[in-house]
Structure 1
């Protein structure tokens, strides 16, 4: 009979052990490795009320206030670019090991913005959990230069004037308008899609990319068009920030008409939760 050396026996035993590792352990090991390779796992599931309560019990009020202050600061910094803030980023960069108390923290953060800053934190996308800080856009005075984006009644922020003009075009056209219509209107205001504008720079990029990233506009491809054509809609931010009644009043003053002249727009404006019924109508 052939004898087996101790080294061979050891190799056989090790091989058997590898083959007999339970599948669940392999999966767990693989998951651990993925977290080790990519850093902490920041996938987030909304905690239950009992989980929130247990998390709060482990914190002092000072620790909770500090975490709220950190989230407020994070959102203020992110909001400077006017791009929606993702819940996943708040959890990853600020909440971290405090994720189980996220609902309580975000509730306090919302109150802080309203009471201290006069701003409103709004979740504009409940599926992907994205927030914006609402700052009400006011229409510009209806004077002879009011529709000139280079002088929109708010010299410190001409981009707001340009955006307001585009939103008013979309609103008055029933909520959707072809890109060509927008450009034809802006050309009358000396704003061209090509070249560099002295105030806005690359106007086409500003409107079709930056305003879109900020969720002020939606830029949608029209199906079955060759060459490709696009149309504009109001974005989720604009739907939350802009008063349609004030916009309609603005357009009415420009045309020296009553708001009720545009019956469909007037009906939509009076139903808008951001609007207040004008006192003189």
Structure 2
């Protein structure tokens, strides 16, 4: 196999790996990509840009490296604007995820696990019981699946005064790229029958993150 055909073959192999990963949303390890390429790092560096370009152009799939890691996430360009590509169960999970992300956003993006679960219970979503709409093991979905998919970040509290281990939740990297904070705020405000600008602190933070300081408001 000549070098050009080898490059095409390797590109197609990596494309297949990414496409098979889109649905489960688990980050792809760089070492798994290298394994497919016979651990040839030079070939990987040559091939990856072609894979990223092809996936975006042909399939509308975005591939991004997770900062500070050797892992990559992939998602459809339609992810944040349409639910047409999801089945009923996935839509239910996305609904729960949106509720959680909205709450985290309003609470400055970092809350105690107990506080989060109490908030959900106030919405009649008890993570210790099967819900008629969301179904399944909600505690596992939130604390395991969403975390592994990088929608949520779950970390131990570093407070020395805690007698028991406490966990804190915040937005994961995948959530930050798939769900613009400003859009989540606008949808949340609409549900509450308010204007996004009424939530001054959150609105201004979203504007700063978007480098859109001209639209900031004064409380």
Normalising by structure 1, we get a TM-score of 0.66
Q: 1:131 is matched with which residue?
A: 72
Contact 2:22/2:75 (<8 A) preserved = no
Out of 183, 188, 199, the position equivalent to 1:251 is 188
Structure 1 residues 256 and 247 mapped into 2: Cα distance closer, same or farther (>3 Å)?
A: same
RMSD: 2.6
Separation in 1, partners of 2:211, 2:119: 26
CA distance in 2, matches of 1:97, 1:180: 44
1:125 deviates by 3.2
- For the structure 1 residues 97 and 237, does the alpha-carbon distance in structure 2 shift closer, same or farther, using more than 3 Å as the test? closer
* Unpaired stretches in structure 1, ≥5 consecutive residues: 1-57, 141-153
Kept in 1, the 8 Å contact 2:28–2:71? The answer is yes
Residue 65 (structure 1) aligns with: 8
Tell me if structure 2 keeps the 8 A contact 1:139–1:164: no
Query: By how many angstroms is 1:217 displaced?
Result: 0.7
Aligned residues: 205
Q: Which residue of 2 aligns with 1:168?
A: 102
For residue 219 of structure 1, the aligned residue among 144, 154, 157 is 154
Q: Distance in 1 between matches of 2:40 and 2:165?
A: 48
| Separation (CA, whole Å) in 1 of partners of 2:211 and 2:148 | 22
Please list every run of at least 4 consecutive aligned residues from structure 1 whose deviation after the TM superposition is greater than 4 angstroms.
Answer: none
Q: Which residue pairs with 2:174 in the alignment?
A: 237
Give the distance between the partners of 1:241 and 1:156, measured in 2 at CA: 15
1:176-233 alpha-carbon deviations (Å, 9 max, x no partner): 1122222122113322121333433111111011111111111122233223322211
Task: Check whether the contact 1:139–1:247 (CA below 8 A) recurs between aligned residues.
Answer: no
- Taking the aligned partners of 2:33 and 2:136, their CA distance within structure 1 comes to 32
Q: How far did residue 79 of structure 1 move?
A: 3.5
Matched residue, 2:207: 270
Output the TM-score relative to the length of structure 2. 0.83
Find the partner of 2:143 among 194, 208, 211: 208
**Structure with more contact order per residue of length (Cα contacts < 8 Å, sep ≥ 6):** 2
Distance between the aligned counterparts of 1:119 and 1:248, measured in 2? 25
Distance in 2 of aligned mates of 1:180 and 1:266: 26
